[in-house]
Structure 1
């Protein structure tokens, strides 16, 4: 499908969606501006003075008519058509710029709006997303609203859900007629996932993601057979697939999504050289998905088999991934140095570079420690955890909007994922708490998931580890530190010990991760932590590894003793965190892998 405006809409009151973000100099010369900030590449090359209308990065230069329509709140007019046009104006000026993190302006600001001109379902999805983006207060999902009165919502949310419902109906009508266009379906799928993400609809967004992957594979097959215009192949691989790979890399933190099906055509993960920060981002996104899939494979083998029996293929894959991460960093460093020499690095590009570095550090630690069940293997990477925190601060400062806030949703790579990983795997108390605090500054919704939900999980995990740490100190006859308030609930008289000790696997004592060719990050902040940053590390026996979250009403994990779980809570909707913990036999010195469970407000 061509994304050019059809002739039937050329007379539409909606004006052509050309970018108005170019600098004044290029506009006066009537040449295309690359829109680089603070000075565009064309003006830099020709030595001309480069100025932009307005001072805030990430906003369009507005026509007076567009400015005026945004002066009034969305809910101030009973005119439905006016509210739709205002929602679209807000999308064009704000939502499109921030939801993709600033590197996907072609997709969000050009392709999606152009498709909306001939596709009512896309138009409705755009204005629904825009209304939720402008008013991101907690909004009940559709299932909840089937049982509740729509009047509990404000006008913005009623409009958003009404437009969303209308879009869904349009899609169903097209499917019933059998005239669905796959490319349009993928655009709608991305928009629907964003809408569900803002509403907390993780399950719905995950189903949409799976359906979108199937559409991508179908469209790839049609392109390969020549049944579809080759222009769609460019749009698919340059715009749609990268979005799904990034979303998949984010979703793998909490669920199983079929992102692996999209990686077969990404042999080198774009690590041989980068022409732009966008290509560097695509490379690290692919590596992020592959690293997490590798981590899951390792955990499955370590739990089921003896650690020393890890297949040679897994160890080879580990070495290959570490080597590719090193190559990625070398290519990324070359790119950043090239931009610096040209004096073409804007504050936003510096922030994007810092963001990509946080992901590289995270992936390096993840891959290097995946072949060991001992949680203490991460202690060798405290400098890398510290670098994640430092770079995350730079990235958050750069991605903030003009009022200092972060956008309510991003489906771009975000510092939320590396910070979450740091809070989860770093057991140096100060660094862990700093990462948890910085997570609160990240966009509230990352992909399908609300950061607040991840923070609650981390707080529960930290409380459980503090409890085990205290028990260990007590058993050794030492005085433990005061436990956080959240631990009181876990250890109260109305609840049993959080560890059910249902399963035990005998593991021979084994060392930490073996020496590797790349034993430290290629851009580590130093071989030692900075003075004053270290604290008492949590002992191995007190560390836990979360496996999944489940509810009683959805069934129990295989092998779970239901009576042990049921005594925690009589409520079927109660959520539980399933985790692993290493326990050493004091006599034989043999490690035992213990499966534990604890209630969690999730």
Structure 2
């Protein structure tokens, strides 16, 4: 993995930190202790008795000392060693508990700190992440900061970026010398992606993800050849790979990350039965990645290969994915019921179960509707959308801190994606706005992406759809009625544009959905709510849009747009646009037409 530090950050030399946590024997001999537990390597090799004074491995400090060091702000002391130790204390007491979620406490609270004992680069990455996690107030984009003066940042952010630069330099130097440990490189890569995500560095985080996937494939090859010990093989598959698959499944909504390269070696039999909520989580994450790759395949075929029917292998793949989702749901229900019967179902587990269920419902709708271009296909899934919103309000407890607030970043699954999906696909006004409101209550950053950005995109999308809906109800040539808060906020300069790139398709060539049955469970909505899920008052097909991507003029033009079209809406090359599709019915032939559209958006 090749890493480049921010150009304007000058990292200070790495100063060795004196540790008071060594064993009594090494202290008395005045030699460096490796602090391995229960007996350090140095004492073991020399046959000496090894004893420690009270500190339990993994805590790194006693509780009173940790509480004391956290009483003072990170920026209150000019002592760099003290600041580093305080940042680590905050990481261990706070950040580690929430970055990866409660299902991965061992990795973040034990494995990562263990690696940091012998790897200065990991230590620096930990304290950088901690400083940003503690002080996540908005700051300029990190790419901008790499070229500008860092004095505009507060002391916490200057510390964080300085430690980050030092960590990246250390990793790069070791890899350049060829003496870098790939496992350490992967741990560093995970920490680097979190740091970039907190700073809004989506492109850099995505690039790091790609580099990390290559390291995983390299390490897997070394394991297969017997060049790597089995302990690292277990750490890779049990801890690192699940993180990358989960981050990849989140990122697939917005970018083309190579998560598919990890799935071929991933165990797919996870839907046959679950021993824990963590194994259920890993199963739904794998299905999430496969469902999104399937959705992308369907969209490419429906849009680019028109009007040919979907190949049988795509329809077969759809039925296989739906069957696996049903199997997951059955295994998940059995797990929750067994926990309930043994009185082992804690409030935290109830919240986590609700979180997993929201993701399952989202994936079921995604796979079932992927073979149709008509957005009205989603209307038969109103019960699932209701269930997502209902369970999301419960699931938010799973990611909340003790004071009820949400952490600034998590790379665990959250309700943000299912809620975003509900606001995107569900056209029942009350329900989609309830989902949008709950989205703003989730952790601000999930994976690489900020929830606030997704909310802004959805607000634009809803305004466009409501504008089209009002135009359809208004006699041609007259003004649309006022609807505060939606279409009237789109002035003439922000009205969506459509290109002349229109092509027809025969609805009969593409099945709307397979034969579906509603997924019921003890965690689904009640029958009284299901009775209200009618399609009356929903937006017609012609008023609905399907967002495809976000683009900038400087990056090129997607199909259906030209430089002349874009110039009418914005003269700025760095302006972002949302590219979308819309269906129109030809009044003469009765066939549907696909229209490419775009609109400026602050993304």
Q: TM-score, normalised by structure 2?
A: 0.88
Match of 1:386 in 2: 386
Shift of 1:511: 8.3
**Deviations, residues 555-583 of structure 1 (Å, cap 9, x unaligned):** 21245321011111111110000000000
Shift of 1:60: 12
Do structure 1's residue 557 and structure 2's residue 558 form an aligned pair? yes
Match of 1:37 in 2: none
Inter-partner Cα distance in structure 2 for 1:479 and 1:14: 77
Inter-partner Cα distance in structure 2 for 1:485 and 1:275: 48
Give the secondary-structure state (helix, strand or coil) at the position aligned to 1:309: coil
Match of 2:432 in 1: 432
**Deviations, residues 476-521 of structure 1 (Å, cap 9, x unaligned):** 79996633445335342x45x5132331111013388556343322
**Deviations, residues 73-124 of structure 1 (Å, cap 9, x unaligned):** 1111111111100100010011111011110011101110000111111000
The answer to whether the 8 A contact 1:206-1:257 is kept is yes
The answer to whether the 8 A contact 2:142-2:200 is kept is no
Match of 2:500 in 1: 502
Give the secondary-structure state (helix, strand or coil) at the position aligned to 2:213: helix
Inter-partner Cα distance in structure 2 for 1:582 and 1:195: 41
Give the secondary-structure state (helix, strand or coil) at the position aligned to 1:501: strand
Residues 119 and 533 of structure 1, relative CA distance in 2, 3 Å threshold: same
User: Structure 2 stretches of 5 or more lacking a match?
Assistant: 1-18, 39-53
Residues 387 and 526 of structure 1, relative CA distance in 2, 3 Å threshold: same
Stretch moving more, 268-277 or 146-155: 146-155
Inter-partner Cα distance in structure 2 for 1:501 and 1:226: 57
The answer to whether the 8 A contact 2:395-2:415 is kept is yes
User: Structure 1 stretches of 5 or more lacking a match?
Assistant: 1-5, 19-29, 33-58
Residues 399 and 364 of structure 1, relative CA distance in 2, 3 Å threshold: same
The answer to whether the 8 A contact 1:410-1:443 is kept is yes
Match of 1:540 in 2: 541
Residues 9 and 246 of structure 1, relative CA distance in 2, 3 Å threshold: farther
Alignment length (residue pairs): 557
The answer to whether the 8 A contact 1:202-1:448 is kept is yes
Give the secondary-structure state (helix, strand or coil) at the position aligned to 1:581: strand
Please show how residues 409-448 of structure 1 align to structure 2 within 5 Å.
Answer: 409-448=409-448
Match of 1:474 in 2: 474
Match of 1:263 in 2: 263
Inter-partner Cα distance in structure 1 for 2:338 and 2:593: 52
Do structure 1's residue 181 and structure 2's residue 172 form an aligned pair? no
Do structure 1's residue 520 and structure 2's residue 518 form an aligned pair? yes
**Deviations, residues 355-396 of structure 1 (Å, cap 9, x unaligned):** 000000000000000000000000001011010001000011
**Deviations, residues 185-229 of structure 1 (Å, cap 9, x unaligned):** 100000000000000000000000000001001111110111111
Residues 527 and 594 of structure 1, relative CA distance in 2, 3 Å threshold: farther
Stretch moving more, 191-200 or 224-233: 224-233
Inter-partner Cα distance in structure 2 for 1:409 and 1:355: 17
Inter-partner Cα distance in structure 2 for 1:14 and 1:489: 63
Shift of 1:527: 6.9
Match of 1:204 in 2: 204
Q: TM-score, normalised by structure 1?
A: 0.88
The answer to whether the 8 A contact 1:465-1:544 is kept is yes
Shift of 1:265: 1.7
Do structure 1's residue 487 and structure 2's residue 467 form an aligned pair? no
Residues 204 and 506 of structure 1, relative CA distance in 2, 3 Å threshold: same
Match of 1:456 in 2: 456
The answer to whether the 8 A contact 1:552-1:575 is kept is yes
Do structure 1's residue 571 and structure 2's residue 572 form an aligned pair? yes
Inter-partner Cα distance in structure 1 for 2:415 and 2:142: 30
Give the secondary-structure state (helix, strand or coil) at the position aligned to 1:395: helix
Inter-partner Cα distance in structure 2 for 1:521 and 1:307: 32
Please show how residues 94-493 of structure 1 align to structure 2 within 5 Å.
Answer: 94-306=94-306, 309-475=309-475, 482-485=482-485, 487-492=487-492
